[in-house]
Amino acid sequence: GEGSNLKRAPYGSEEDFSIAPAAKLTRLEEPKRVLLYVRKESEEVFDALMLKTPSLKGLMEAISDKYDVPHDKIGKIFKKCKKGILVNMDDNIV
């Protein structure tokens, strides 16, 4: 009885260890993507923007690509809250 228990325990723990690190590595390699809905102030309909990196720089790059606007022509970026309050965007808000 004791011999069979000893054989099972190491086999079970080896199996656990071989699976867990692989799953963790997979999660670490996945890039964090952020999907935002944006529009020009004059437009009614929003466009979807997928950010390559979840930062203000990533947002500016996505806006530049989507609307064909040079990076240096993008001034400040604001988020308009439901109550109509304008918030200056930064890396924490993205």
Grouping H, G, I as helix, E, B as strand and the rest as coil, residue 42 is coil
pLDDT of 32 reads: 77
pLDDT tens for each residue of 49-62: 999 888 999 999 99
CA–CA dist 36, 51 (Å, integer)? 8
- For the chain, the domains span 1-30, 34-88
Grouping H, G, I as helix, E, B as strand and the rest as coil, residue 35 is strand
pTM of the model: 0.61
- Give, in order, the Cα–Cα distances in Å from 64 to each of 15, 30, 57, 75, 86: 48, 24, 10, 11, 21
Q: Divide the 94 residues of the chain into consecutive groups of 10 and give the mean pLDDT of each group.
A: 50 48 53 84 91 91 93 88 89 85
Please classify residue 51 by burial: count the beta carbons closer than 10 Å to its beta carbon, then call 0-12 exposed, 13-18 middle and 19+ buried.
Answer: buried
pLDDT of 25 reads: 52
